[in-house]
Amino acid sequence: MTIDIPFIWVAFKEIIKALPTTLILTIVPLIAGFLIGIAVALVRVYKVKYLYQIANGYVSFFRGTPIIMHIMVIYFGFPLLLDQISLKFGLGIQTNKIPIILFILIALTLAAGSYLSEIIRSGIISVANGQMEAAYSVGMTKFQAMIRIILPQALAQSIPNFTNIFVGFLHTSSIAFLVSQKEITGAANIIAGVNLKFLEAFIAAGIIYWGLTILVEGLSFLLEKKVTAYNRGGVS
Amino acid sequence: MGKAFDIMLIFEFIPTLIHYLGVTLQILAASIILGLILGIAAAIPRLFRIPLLNQLVILYVSFIRGTPILIQLFLVFYGLPAILMLLFSIDITRMEAIYFVIITYALSNGAGFAEIFRAAIRAVDHGQTEAGYSVGMTGRQNFFRIVLPQAVRIAFPNMANSVIGSLKDTSLAFTIGVMDMMGRGDTLISATAHALEVYISLAIIYYTIVLLFEKLFRMLEKYHNRYQKADVTAVA
């Protein structure tokens, strides 16, 4: 059993073709999840009646179960549900025509919403109390104070967390290959199976993920440096 | 085969699946303990900027953070036997899959913990270090008496999160053929063709375990925060 180095490059060229799918599986859920996240975070911070319990339950459940479960339950459950509905109302939806990627996107969006809401919430809470008081003292309303004073600080402080979530979901999209979606890991698995060179194919996939992650982290690092230039801390 | 979706099956599946909870917790415990050791060892060169080791740790952490756990799992599973064969001509291809899983998750947790420790120490306000020096403490005294106790408080929630994250990640161990809850679930699906019920049962089990862990960690967190003033947030 030796490592076929040239094959890594062959696999790399083949696998990189699946990059757009991975990016779609990462970015779409995060954008949709961010909107869910802000709404859920505000509901939880202000303890809006009735909605508060639902929001808590949603965040707790989706953060408390592996994402592979969300994908699997929606992948198997959604067509079943749609079939029932379409049978009842005679809609004639054919669930086997729905592309698999849609189910994965729904599952990942729901998961992203719960993770992002928790980050936004903790960001809001971490802004010092004096900031809110200062905003009130210059005559701002609660809404103005939230939009102009608290949220910008909360989001700036949360940049490292957002990066983590971005990278986390980039990596989570690899689970999609378990429901036979051909993204980076899926493509690697196919080329590995065809050529019986598993190690080389996954090295190539690993390099692609690593490169993407370094890129994302580099961008976020620059952004963070700019936004939190006034902070100092620790032993250094 | 009966109905498309049979809720009673969930109650039937849960006791069957819970038998395999031990395997999941075994993987978790072993990888956390090994990960802690690895994390401390990796954080020291980073904090004190030990040349060469520092760069090595950066590379290690970057790689682990830069690739999905699924890819790491495959790389260890296919790569470790190849490397050991090549360098020491030791044959471990017949080793049980669970050891590969533990090695992967220990490596993954180690990198995560190293970053958490480092970030927590850097998160302690610089004024604390200055205050420590101003009362005549040495660097070592300042670190162990002032910075570290505060860093533990800061690191704890992140550690708790990564333990829970790791628990959820164990749900991917079945991809290399470990017979944990997911693996058993897979065989149940082939036996009964009720995939949705199996995944719902698994979600319930994972959720329950995560809730228990969260409760425990919250108690510990409260203990760590016992000297913190209650009124530190912008919005009550």
Q: Residues of B with CB below 8 A from A132's CB? A: 234-235
Give the pLDDT band of residue A233 (cuts 50, 70, 90): low
Q: Which CATH architecture is the domain B30-161 placed in?
A: Orthogonal Bundle (1.10)
CB contact (8 A) between residue B175 and residue A3: no
Q: What is the CA radius of gyration of chain A?
A: 22
Q: How far apart are CA B77 and CA B99, in angstroms?
A: 9
Give the pLDDT band of residue B231 (cuts 50, 70, 90): low
Q: Residues of B with CB below 8 A from A64's CB? A: 164, 206-207, 210-211, 214
Q: How far apart are CA A140 and CA A132, in angstroms?
A: 9
pLDDT tens sequence across B40-64:
899 889 888 888 999 999 999 999 9
For residue A209, give the nearest of B71, B168, B171 by CB distance. Answer: B71
**Length of chain B in terms of residues written:** 236
Q: What is the ipTM of this complex?
A: 0.81
**Rounded to two decimals, what is the model's pTM?**
0.83
The DSSP code sequence of B55-116 is HHHHHHHHHHHHS-HHHHHHHHHHHHHHHHHHHH----TTS-HHHHHHHHHHHHHHHHHHHH
pLDDT of residue B233: 53
Whether B67 has a pLDDT exceeding 90, the answer reads yes
Q: Residues of A with CB below 8 A from B71's CB? A: 174, 185, 188, 202, 205-206, 209
Among chain A residues, CA nearest to B131: A235
A218 versus A87: which is more confidently predicted?
A218
The DSSP code sequence of A215-231 is HHHHHHHHHHHHHTTT-
In chain B, where are the structural domains located? 30-161
pLDDT tens sequence across A18-54:
899 999 999 999 999 999 999 999 999 888 888 999 9
Give the pLDDT band of residue B236 (cuts 50, 70, 90): very low
Q: How far apart are CA B17 and CA B203, in angstroms?
A: 11
For chain A, say whether B74 makes contact (Cβ under 8 Å).
Answer: yes
Which residues 77-106 of chain B have a CB within 8 Å of chain A?
Answer: 78-79, 81-82, 85-86
